Chains A and B, each alone.
Chain A
């Protein structure tokens, strides 16, 4: 089952009689090591007609085509990098679920580290600071209210 196909794509899928789940038995490569590599690569490639699904999880016909392409390239002796380059060459960077590290994704990849460093810096500043003396006093009515709350607890 595909969770994200639009109705139109779904109707098409049904018309083709191709409702099924992800990798099909007939796609599996006889070489187990090659097949493992194919699965790993597939898990990192986006199914282009789906939302946030890898071609390894998707049952869309296009995903199947991509899975077959990946296996073709592996059989032809490509290494993983070459397979990815081949697919990106045909479908664009959008197909990669793990974005490349480049200028336009620098901010994205730096975020986790930057967040930790900035946060750490903030904490360091906080730990060094002296407590401020200025303190807003409670009004007598509020004092009584707080006292009542504390007593009842």
Chain B
């Protein structure tokens, strides 16, 4: 019964989102304010309905209700409870429902963010958001109904793919989807501006918090996916340039560009048309990512089902939104007033360069990912575009981008002075160079690019720190006298300045982690209990190999003791092969020993009849910095979000309590 009510709630959400899509526009045309007010309850109602549907599906999964087809296909009575919950979105239908839930949540948030956005803009934005929700609910109901019944209901389910039975599934998709879907808001704002034919700094301000939220979550989602792949797939890679990964990287690159171009627009009234285009492209790439992952165009573990009708429907959605929005852009963009000028050497000039490199990087990933598909379609020639291509093309674009980051922060708006900026960055540059050279000397004979990367990472971190310090010290007559003064001023700096510095330092940390993988080592051998295998500065001793019984799997486990070169025990780890009888699948469970921010990574290979095992041992120096860097970047985004300036657009808060001593915007 609950299932049918859930299904009905989805149908109700479909109707409500249609109301939300049509009424605000109609009201704008007819000038009927009462009608316009309908959009808010419609958006809230749609969210409530989708939430109910989601709860109903979750309940079915939690209670292993095998009368529901979706539960039969993805659950099992012995499956651990956490995976019963995360299994709700570990399949096509459920993950689309989660996607829509987040979409409806964002719609509701825009609806309740009452007075923060100009009325016309908000009405149009809500309408566009309603249209997106409508189309996706329609897609779910017509092609991917999660509430279909199984008749007769089987006694047992087919279980979830063991690869997905992991904590990663609990967090990776929700984070990623908040990112993807969050960009639907910026998209809706862009379309609303185009419909209205006007765009200004108020628009940039209204869009910025949403962009920050989406970007921060997308950063976390990608990082989580990367770490999951790292420990789950058993060979210690952290980025594979897989189409599915590229699908999430593209909106991230475009979203990062958008984040920076809205700053220029807000401060200098420039780059308007470009920013609108970026907002459209970012969400288009999010949709494309969903299409790539969901349609089965590129089959991989992410594609839970391959069904051509769904592919065609998603393609239609893509054409409607991407084609429609770009057509609208081509028609209306020339009417948008072009904004202010800028000198090439200025902060906005640097931000324009940021956008150039990010856009070029995004284009490269886009073409690299889709080129084989189109080439095969057009000429039936089959080629592969893999990691060597992306490393050869994307990295040379990324490096100049990283080099200008500290300059952008240091240069003044309107007219900057490279000489002065270099002087202020002199300490960061010099120190980073010294660090790079020192590392090169210490690791002489090793890889050459790794010390360069370390220097680059250090430069980014130091540059971010220097920016905060030099701003806190002040210039000229306003120079702070004591350390306490500097600390006080630093504490009083706008949160957005801290957010920027943190995010940029996070990029530096990420670069350090990536660079250090140049020194990663691999050991590989057949070992018997009592024997050892060395990798880098560590030696693993195989203590014993034994069977172990999990909740829904049987595991062959290798127990390892890790020692350093001096022979002292630094820790133990275990790696195993898990056999899941429900799916008759074997999964390798890697063993990780974390030492500071480095890791020793063990992976069990074949178990031989003579009792020896194939053992793979990696030493991954500073590897955790890769994900810590991403985490710091996302934290930077959230810190920026708490900036006073951002209160515009934050739901309710501004309205509930007007600031008594308002500070003029920066």
Q: Which residues of A contact B (CB under 8 A)?
A: 1, 3-4, 6, 10-11, 14, 18-26, 28, 43-44, 46, 51-54, 57, 92-99, 104-105, 107-109, 111-112, 115-116, 119-120, 123, 126-127, 129-132, 134-136, 142, 145-146, 149-153
Contacts and interface: CB of A to CB of B under 8 A. Distances in A.
Contacts of B300: 3-4, 51-52
Interface in B514-535: 524-526
Nearest to B659: A152
B152 interface: no
Nearest to B394: A112
Interface of B: 116, 118-119, 163, 197-198, 202, 229, 232-235, 237, 240-243, 298-301, 337-342, 344, 352, 356-357, 359-360, 363-364, 367-368, 371, 375, 379, 381-389, 392-394, 396-397, 524-526, 577, 584-588, 603-606, 614, 616, 644-645, 647-648, 654, 658-659, 662, 664-665
A126 to B, nearest CB: 8
8 contacts: A3-B301, A19-B577, A96-B384, A108-B385, A112-B360, A112-B396, A116-B357, A152-B654
A16 to B, nearest CB: 12
A44 B388 contact: yes
B182 to A, nearest CB: 22
Contact of B648 (A20, A46, A136, A149): A149
B233 A1 contact: yes
Nearest to A56: B235
A96 B375 CA distance: 15
A119 B360 contact: yes
Contact of A51 (B299, B525, B603): B299
Contacts of A96: 383-384
B371 A107 contact: yes
- Top 5 A-B residue pairs of the complex, sorted by shortest distance between their CB atoms: A97-B386, A98-B388, A20-B606, A115-B360, A1-B588
A116 B665 contact: no
B237 A149 contact: no
B605 A21 contact: yes
Contacts of A120: 356
Given A104-B375, A104-B379, A20 B605 contact: yes
Nearest to A111: B367
B172 to A, nearest CB: 14
Scoring B118, B229, B386 by chain A CB atoms within 10 A of each residue's CB, the highest score goes to: B386
Nearest to A50: B300
Contact of A21 (B235, B357, B662): B235
A28 B614 CA distance: 13
Scoring A44, A57, A115, A149 by chain B CB atoms within 10 A of each residue's CB, the highest score goes to: A115
Scoring A14, A20, A129, A134 by chain B CB atoms within 10 A of each residue's CB, the highest score goes to: A20
Contacts of A10: 585
A99 B385 CA distance: 6
Contact of B233 (A3, A26, A142): A3
